[in-house]
């Protein structure tokens, strides 16, 4: 093994330099032992490598030393048998969770992998599975998604869960930025932000933080962005200077004084500027909230202008004037600016015209929150505004953006789907759920006529109470999660998949009572796949169901695969509509409760979120590609399409997708023999 070069910053104190040199000697020795160890003994030797590498990366210059050893580390077997063994399939968005982990080994192996890919990107390591171009592209995505590590100190939560370990990702990303160049990071980050904003998520705090970091980069004379960052101006101005009167970011108090000296023409100009910036990005500036509160005393015409309403929204505003004013007073503050966009979109949907919704919103305005609800909201969002205002902001955003609900990094896709479905299809039921959860600390739902209390039910699917959620989900999801799990427990002795009985009871009467699954629950093998696909086409494809459109959103289950088409897990989604896209391809438009729905599922199946006729928040795939990842669907048993009309050729294409991906290891032996002609 050759001894790697040790590069040393002249400013590094001799004591620190000597400590790093000593650690590197230990690391080289540990790497040699790992490389020479027989296969069965490698795990024992791996622990020493990880522990020493962790200490090295905590030192100044440690990341550079690891980068120089990237090849020998990999050849010694550091990544063998792990997800990191195949770097061409690594997913950039997953790096955040690995680097935030309290597990030191997970942080270390992720960091070593990034430094290995950096060595490949710089042409210093000719990797058999990864090209320089692939490595560079991957790292720019990783940097863009983790830009906060370049500028922010560890948060209280990170210090609590990771301790000194939290410094390693920061040392790593400073080294990556110096080696790659900030200009590549910024351009990629801007593209990523626009792509996610196109999906209109409710949770935008992280996006706002990234935009703030871009603004800091632009203002820092020590960071040379070169020709990059031109697309950032619209993003930065949408938060810090969307109109002429606040273009230089003067501060809330000064802007409030400027408003008081404006005439009606100037106010209208400001209102139009705010609306244009908000609807362009879906982001709302704190200045916008200040203006909206100011306009309460200056006529509904200017309010409608500031909200950017169409004729539908304006009519709704005028019909429910007192309620809208009360909602602005109760929810719209500089600390809760997204309430403005939620309110505008809610008015555009016209749901206040549904008889129960307006009185339910009045109830929400006067709702007394339980101590538990207030504490939970303050813990997640701080006490810069009242918990009641924070929850009201969340209600407006969920009703305005029902497809913007995300589950965060939590296994609560069923609950997120339910909240989205109710906001989309049954808003007064959603408001009832919020009331019970926030006021009473209890939700009672019924399963086959028997009540289920969220307080009396034992644990749910999530092991810990999720915190990275929107305000409504933060309060309601823990209750729904326990109820959903209890419904599943009541089906434990039944034959087949429990979703058959749970989904219609949990989500609503409109969920079809008919049920099909293409996996045998006992064995995990594919089961009656041809019949399953024929039935799905006959139920949902307009060419085979008499051109019957999908009326109510329907729950469905998909087998999620990665970019190499390997099975990841089962996931809950909502089918929303089936229709021809602008290029006359039949597509299914669906809701995915992930915060980012644009995913590569391998074998040429890339989920689209814009450009193919999607509405904000929708995902879509061509019908046969979607069918190839579907494993559960519901249908109305009284409505049947024509099974016989579907050609075998079309079904074979779908089956091919399945057999090349998540179904590769699930084909029954008799089917394999039939395919082989035996």
DSSP class of residue 256 equals H
* Domain chopping of the chain, boundaries: 14-180, 241-245+252-353, 371-490, 514-675
| Average pLDDT score over the chain | 89
The count of other CB atoms within 10 Å of the CB of residue 268 is 16
Measured between alpha carbons, how far is residue 139 from residues 118, 179, 209 in Å?
7, 11, 20
% of residues, the chain, pLDDT over 90:
67
What is the rounded distance in angstroms from the CA atom of residue 593 to the CA atom of residue 412? 9
Q: How confident is the model at residue 12 (pLDDT cuts 50, 70, 90)?
A: very low
Average pLDDT over residues 218-226: 68
pTM (two decimals): 0.81
Q: Residue 572: left if φ>0, alpha if ψ -120 to 50, beta else—which one? A: beta
Encode pLDDT of 52-82 as tens digits. Answer: 999 999 998 999 999 999 999 999 999 998 9
Tell me which of 239-243, 405-409, 593-597 is least confident: 405-409
More confident residue, 627 or 217: 627
Encode pLDDT of 124-182 as tens digits. Answer: 999 988 888 889 888 887 887 787 677 555 655 666 667 788 889 999 988 998 888 77
Encode pLDDT of 31-59 as tens digits. Answer: 999 999 998 888 889 999 999 999 999 99
Q: How confident is the model at residue 446 (pLDDT cuts 50, 70, 90)?
A: very high
Burial 385-409 (b: 16+ CB within 10 A, else e): bbbbbbbbbbbbbbbbbbbbbbbbe
Encode pLDDT of 579-591 as tens digits. Answer: 999 999 999 999 9
Write the DSSP string, 555-578: EEEEEEE-TT--EEEEEEEEEEEE
Q: How confident is the model at residue 516 (pLDDT cuts 50, 70, 90)?
A: very high
CA nearest to 210, candidates 191, 230, 226, 225? 191
Q: How confident is the model at residue 600 (pLDDT cuts 50, 70, 90)?
A: confident
Best-predicted range by mean pLDDT (129-138, 163-172, 309-318, 454-463) = 309-318
Q: How confident is the model at residue 7 (pLDDT cuts 50, 70, 90)?
A: very low
% of residues, the chain, pLDDT over 70:
91
Looking at residue 184, its pLDDT comes to: 67
Write the DSSP string, 597-658: ---B-STT-B-BSSSSSPPTT-EEEEHHHHHTTEEEEEE-TT----GGGS-HHHHHHHHHHH
Looking at residue 26, its pLDDT comes to: 94
Q: How confident is the model at residue 1 (pLDDT cuts 50, 70, 90)?
A: very low
Encode pLDDT of 391-435 as tens digits. Answer: 999 999 999 999 999 886 557 889 999 999 999 999 999 999 999
Looking at residue 613, its pLDDT comes to: 96
Spatial contact of 4 and 21, defined as CB atoms under 8 Å apart: no
Average pLDDT over residues 295-318: 96
3-state SS, one letter per residue, for 74-123 = HHHCCCCCCHHHCHHHCCHHHHHHHHCCCCHHHHHHHHHHHHHHHHHHCC
What is the rounded distance in angstroms from the CA atom of residue 441 to the CA atom of residue 435? 9
């Amino acid at each position: 093994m050759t001894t790697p070069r040790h590069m040393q910053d002249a400013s590094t104190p001799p004591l620190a330099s000597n400590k790093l040199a000593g650690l590197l000697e230990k690391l080289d020795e540990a790497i040699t032992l790992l490389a020479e160890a027989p296969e069965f003994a490698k795990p024992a030797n791996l622990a020493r490598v990880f522990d020493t590498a962790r200490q090295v990366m905590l030192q100044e210059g440690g990341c550079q030393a690891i980068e120089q050893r990237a090849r020998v580390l990999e050849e010694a077997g550091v990544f063998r048998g792990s997800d990191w063994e195949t770097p061409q399939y690594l997913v950039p968005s997953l790096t955040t969770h690995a680097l935030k982990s309290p597990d030191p080994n997970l942080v270390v192996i992720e960091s070593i992998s990034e430094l290995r890919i950096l060595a490949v990107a710089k042409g210093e390591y000719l990797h058999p599975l990864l090209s320089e171009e692939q490595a560079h592209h991957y790292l720019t995505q990783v940097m863009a998604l983790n830009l906060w590590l370049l500028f922010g100190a560890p948060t209280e939560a990170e210090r609590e869960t990771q301790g000194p370990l939290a410094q390693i990702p920061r040392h790593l990303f400073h080294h990556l930025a110096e080696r790659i160049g900030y200009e590549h990071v910024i351009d990629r980050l801007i593209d990523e932000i626009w792509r996610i904003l196109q999906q209109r998520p409710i949770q935008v705090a992280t996006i706002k933080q990234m935009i703030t970091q871009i603004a800091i980069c632009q203002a820092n004379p020590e960071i040379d962005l070169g020709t990059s960052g031109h697309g950032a101006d619209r993003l930065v101005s949408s938060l810090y200077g969307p109109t002429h009167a606040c273009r230089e970011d003067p501060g809330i108090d000064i802007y409030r004084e400027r408003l008081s000296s404006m005439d009606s023409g100037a106010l209208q100009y400001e209102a139009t500027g705010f609306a244009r910036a908000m609807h362009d990005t879906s982001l709302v500036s704190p200045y916008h909230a200040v203006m909206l509160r100011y306009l309460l005393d200056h006529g509904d015409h200017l309010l409608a202008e500031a909200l950017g309403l169409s004729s539908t929204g304006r009519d709704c505003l005028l019909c429910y004037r007192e309620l809208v004013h009360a909602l602005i007073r109760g929810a719209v503050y500089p600390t809760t600016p997204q309430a403005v966009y939620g309110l505008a979109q809610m008015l555009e949907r016209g749901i206040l015209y549904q008889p129960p919704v307006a009185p339910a919103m009045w109830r929400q305005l006067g709702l007394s929150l339980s101590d538990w609800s207030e504490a939970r909201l303050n813990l997640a969002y701080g006490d810069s505004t009242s918990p009641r205002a924070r929850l009201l902001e969340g209600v407006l955003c969920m009703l305005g953006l029902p497809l913007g609900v995300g589950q965060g990094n939590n296994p609560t896709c069923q609950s997120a789907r339910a909240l989205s479905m109710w906001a989309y299809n049954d808003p007064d039921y959603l408001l009832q759920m919020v009331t019970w959860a926030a006021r009473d600390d209890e939700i009672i739902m019924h399963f086959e006529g028997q009540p289920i209390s969220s307080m009396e039910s034992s644990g749910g699917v999530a092991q810990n109470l999720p915190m990275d959620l929107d305000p409504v989900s933060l309060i309601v999801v823990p209750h729904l999660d326990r109820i959903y799990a209890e419904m599943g427990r009541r089906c434990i002795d039944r034959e087949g998949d429990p979703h058959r009985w749970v989904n219609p009871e949990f989500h609503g009467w409109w969920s079809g009572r008919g049920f099909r699954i293409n996996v045998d629950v006992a064995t995990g093998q594919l089961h009656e796949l041809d019949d399953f696909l024929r039935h799905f086409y006959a139920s949902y494809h307009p060419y085979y169901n008499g051109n019957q459109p999908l009326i109510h959103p329907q729950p469905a289950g998909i087998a999620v695969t990665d970019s190499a088409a390997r099975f990841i897990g089962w996931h809950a989604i909502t089918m929303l509509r089936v229709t021809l896209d602008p290029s006359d391809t039949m597509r299914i438009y669906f809701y995915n409760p992930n915060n980012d729905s644009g995913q590569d599922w391998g074998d040429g199946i890339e989920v689209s979120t814009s450009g193919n006729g999607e509405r904000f928040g929708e995902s879509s795939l061509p019908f046969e590609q979607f069918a190839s990842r579907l494993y559960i669907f519901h249908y109305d048993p009284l409505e049947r399409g024509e099974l016989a009309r579907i050609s075998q050729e079309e079904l074979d294409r779908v089956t091919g997708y399945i057999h090349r991906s998540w179904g590769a290891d699930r084909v029954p032996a008799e089917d394999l023999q039939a395919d082989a002609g035996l």
